[in-house]
């Protein structure tokens, strides 16, 4: 294994737009690859989270039981945890269901709006928790990067700072809903 920074990215309850914005870094990804190895991510094929990672970017709110268990495992195996994007930072669009009861959501999604096989899934699809919450309401977060999604430039800046051992100061770079 090289001496490069160990990087991971995780996708919880989000639209994958933050990961798309990460890919939008384009050719600068080559520069980042000189500094870091991507060990775990929806973009690579590893199935289990590594023992210890230096930096993990988390996209998405904590909405399901799977998200809830996953984020705690990720936190335990990550040095610097980054909430990437508005869903991770504020719960954003996933959180818009919070004023409703989960049973009402299932009813709307799997009965009212389904024409075939009306049934609430009990296998494969993880059950929803009562509330969809920001990552920092479940585990400690080290760096917050608001934005929907944060721009590729913002993500590149955050990673460059972190990979060079600095804590990124995002003042004036991104905002809620950006």
Partner 1 sequence: MKRSQIITFKIDGQDIAAREDETILELARQNGIRIPTLCYLESVTPWGGCRLCMVEVKGTTRLFPACMTYPQEGMEVSTVTEQLTTYRKQVLDLLFAERNHVCSVCVSNGACELQGLAYELGMTHVGVPYLNPSLPLDASHPYFGLDHNRCILCTRCVRVCDEIEGAHTWDVMGRGVDARIVADLNQPWGEAISCTSCGKCVQACPTGALFEKGKSVAEMQKRHEFLPYLALMREGRDGDSEQ
Cα separation of 10 and 67, whole Å?
Answer: 10
Q: Which of 80, 75, 52 is nearest to 142 (CA)?
A: 80
Binding flag, residue 83, partner 1 (CB under 8 A): yes
Using the rule CB under 8 A, which residue among 100, 104, 118, 121 binds partner 1? Answer: 100
| Distance between CA atoms of residues 113 and 101, nearest Å | 17
Least distance CB 138 / partner 1 (angstroms): 11
- Which of residues 14, 60, 134, 150 is near partner 1 by CB under 8 A? 134
119 binds partner 1 per the rule CB under 8 A? no
- Comparing CB distances to partner 1, the nearer of 9 and 146 is 146
Q: Are 53 and 39 in contact (CB under 8 A)?
A: yes
Rounded CA-CA distance 177/14 in Å is: 14
Backbone angles phi, psi at 96, to 5 degrees: -65, -15
Residue 28 or 75: the one with the smaller Cβ distance to partner 1 is 75
Is residue 148 at the binding interface for partner 1, with CB under 8 A as the rule?
Answer: yes
User: How many binding residues for partner 1 (CB under 8 A)?
Assistant: 29
In the complex, minimum distance from the CB of residue 116 to partner 1, in angstroms, rounded to a whole number: 30
CA nearest neighbour of 137 among 42, 40, 67, 79: 67
Residue position matching structure tokens 């870094």: 25
3-state secondary structure of 32: helix
Beta carbon nearer to partner 1, 8 or 86: 86
Q: Least Å distance between CB 160 and partner 1?
A: 18
Binding site for partner 1 (CB under 8 A): 83, 86, 89-93, 95-96, 98-100, 131, 133-134, 136-137, 141, 144-146, 148, 169-172, 175-177
């Amino acid at each position: 294994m090289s001496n490069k920074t160990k990087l991971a990215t995780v996708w919880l309850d989000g639209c994958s737009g933050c990961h798309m914005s990460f890919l939008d870094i384009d050719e600068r990804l080559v520069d980042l690859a000189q500094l870091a190895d991507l060990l775990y991510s929806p973009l690579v094929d590893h199935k289990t989270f590594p023992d210890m990672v230096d930096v993990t970017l988390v996209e998405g709110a904590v909405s399901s039981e799977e998200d809830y268990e996953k984020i705690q495992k990720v936190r335990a195996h990550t040095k610097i945890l980054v909430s990437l994007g508005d869903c991770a930072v504020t719960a954003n669009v996933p959180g818009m269901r919070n004023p409703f009861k989960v049973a009402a959501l299932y009813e709307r999604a799997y009965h009212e709006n389904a024409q075939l096989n009306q049934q609430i899934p009990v296998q494969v699809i993880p059950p929803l928790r009562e509330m969809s919450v920001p990552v920092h309401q479940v585990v400690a977060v080290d760096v917050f990067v608001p934005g929907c999604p944060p721009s590729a430039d913002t993500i590149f800046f955050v990673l460059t700072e972190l990979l060079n051992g600095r804590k990124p100061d995002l003042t004036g770079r991104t905002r809620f809903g950006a």
